[in-house]
Chain A
C-alpha cells in the first residue's frame, strides 16, 4: 500500500468519520482514498473543500460535534491552515492534520522535503500553543502513528500532526493494521445541542487578559504533561557508537542506509531518531551526550531540527550538520561519504 493510502486506512480504522481536504501534490492519494472509503462507514463524511482554510475549519466544526476528524495537505496548504490550527488549540478541539511535505518556500516543488519542521513544531499559527507532531519513517509507522495521533489528540484535546514527506506518502510498503484502541472522549466536550439541559459554548476569544492569561497557562500545563508522557524516539545501533546521526522521517531511513555501509567499513555510527518532533526527545538526547561527543544532524532542509538538537545538547557535544533542502533527496551513499569525512576528522 502507498504511504498516503496507509494513513487513510489507518484513520478510518481508528474511527475517523470526517475528512475534509483540498487537492495538492504529493498527498492527493490520501484525499482520494478518503473520498472512496470514508462514506462506506456509518456516518462517514467526506467534503472536498473549497480551500485548505475551509477544510481546517470544517474539521474543527465536526470535531466540536464529536466526530473523529482529519484533514491533509502539503506545505503551501498547511500554511493556509495555520489560523485554524491555532484556533483548534485554543478551543481544545482534537483533530488530525497530515502534512506530506514538499519543497519550499513558496510553491517550491512537489519533491519530498523537510522544510516545514519549524512551522510544525513552533506552533505555526499565532499565539502560545503547541501541536503534537509525529514523524513516521516507515509504512508500518504511518499506520501505527496515525492511530496514535487520534488517541493523543483526544486524550489531550488538542490538534495533532502527522509530519511526513512526499517520499513517505508515495512509497509502497507492506503494513499490518493493528487493532485500534476504543475511543475515550467525553460527551461533555461535544456540542450536540443542549437538549433539555444547559447550553454550552466553545470559543477562542477571551477578551479579559486575566482570563486569557489563565487559559494560556492552562494550555501550557497541558503541554508540560504531554512533554513528560508522550515523548517518543528510536535508537539504532547506539550502544557502541562513537558518532550519532540525528534524523527523522525519510532522512532517518537514508541515514540507516548510510550507517549500514559505514558499519561494514568498521565505523561505529548510530542513529537517534525523534518520533515525536514536538515534544522533542530533548532529555534522552542530552543523556546520550554523556557517552557520545560527535553528533551529525541530517535533514532535508537547511537546518531546522538542528536548533532543537543544539538546545538539547547544550554544548555538551560537537554538532555537525548536513542538509539537502528544496526537494533534493540524497542517497545513502552520498550521506555515508559526508559522515565518513567527519568521522575520520574526529578520530
Chain B
C-alpha cells in the first residue's frame, strides 16, 4: 500500500504561478494553502491580497478573496472580520505594502488587536514595480532607487516590523521566519498555523513575517538568494518568536 506524502493542496487552484522561478511567494502560498487544508477552514476563510507581486493571489488561493488597494489590506481585513466574526480573515502583504504606504493601517490594526492574521513577505525590495528600495532594504543594498546602496543618512534604516509590532499591546503573536531552507520552510508553516489558530481561538492579532527570496531583483540565483537570506538578511532581521501571548490571553479569557 502506498501512502500519499505530497499532494496539491485543495485550497490552491491548479493555475500556474506567474511568479519568477525561485520566488518566495510561491512557497508561502503553498504553505498557507496547506495550513488552510489541514485546519479544514477553506470554506470560512477570506483572504486579502495586496498590490505587490502577490496581487494575483486570488488566481491561486481557492478561498474567497478581495484585493486591497496598496497598503490597505489590514483596514479591509479588520472590517471583514468585524462584519463576519466567525470567519478566518488574513491579509497578505509585502514590505512596501505593510511598512511604507500601509504602515498606518497595519500598525493600527495591530494596535486595535484586530483578530486577524497578517502574512508579511519581507523580500527587502519592491518586487512588483521592478526592484526599488523598500523600507526593509538592507543598508548598502543596491536597488534601482538606491543605486549606490542604501545609505542611512539619506534613506534611513531597515524597518524591523516584527520588533515594532511585538511592542504593541494589541498584538498577540508575532514571529519572524524564513523560507531560505527546508527547516525554515517547516518552521514558517508551523508559525502560520499557530497564527491562524490564535485567530480561531479569538485571541487577537497575529503576524508572521517571512524572509522571502526575490532572485529577480536581487540579481542572484535562487541558491545564492537563500544564502543571502541566511548570511546577510537574517543578521538585520533575526528569525524568532517576538511575541507569544497566546497562553496568557487564553488564561485571561478563561478567568473572565
In the complex, A49 has a CB within 8 A of chain B: yes
Are B80 and A191 in contact, CB atoms less than 8 angstroms apart? Answer: yes
Are B75 and A49 in contact, CB atoms less than 8 angstroms apart? Answer: yes
Chain B residues within 8 Å of A84, by CB:
69, 72
In the complex, A162 has a CB within 8 A of chain B: no
In the complex, B130 has a CB within 8 A of chain A: no
In the complex, A10 has a CB within 8 A of chain B: no
Nearest A residue (CB) for B44: A193
Chain B residues within 8 Å of A66, by CB:
83-84
Query: How many A residues have CB within 8 A of the partner chain?
Result: 39
Nearest B residue (CB) for A46: B82
- Distance between Cα atoms of A62 and B61 in the complex (Å): 21
In the complex, A314 has a CB within 8 A of chain B: no
Produce 1/0 per residue, A195-210, CB < 8 A to B. Answer: 1100111111100000
Are B80 and A50 in contact, CB atoms less than 8 angstroms apart? Answer: no
Query: How many B residues have CB within 8 A of the partner chain?
Result: 35
The A/B interface has a contact count, at CB < 8 Å, of 126
A57-B76, A195-B43, A200-B64 in contact; A83/B83 too (CB < 8 A)?
no
- Distance between Cα atoms of A249 and B36 in the complex (Å): 52
Chain A residues within 8 Å of B62, by CB:
194, 199
Select which of A43, A49, A191 is within 8 A of B46 by beta carbon: A191
Produce 1/0 per residue, B236-250, CB < 8 A to A. Answer: 000000000000000
In the complex, A53 has a CB within 8 A of chain B: yes
Are B67 and A193 in contact, CB atoms less than 8 angstroms apart? Answer: no
Are A193 and B75 in contact, CB atoms less than 8 angstroms apart? Answer: no
Chain A residues within 8 Å of B108, by CB:
49-50, 54
Are A61 and B104 in contact, CB atoms less than 8 angstroms apart? Answer: no
A107 to chain B, nearest CB (A): 20
Are B43 and A194 in contact, CB atoms less than 8 angstroms apart? Answer: yes
In the complex, B17 has a CB within 8 A of chain A: no
Select which of B67, B79, B84, B104 is within 8 A of A58 by beta carbon: B79
Q: Which 4 pairs from chain A and chain B are nearest by CB? A: A61-B79, A61-B76, A201-B58, A65-B83
Interface pairs (12), CB distance under 8 Å: A50-B105, A57-B72, A57-B76, A58-B76, A60-B76, A61-B75, A65-B84, A67-B83, A194-B64, A203-B67, A204-B69, A205-B51
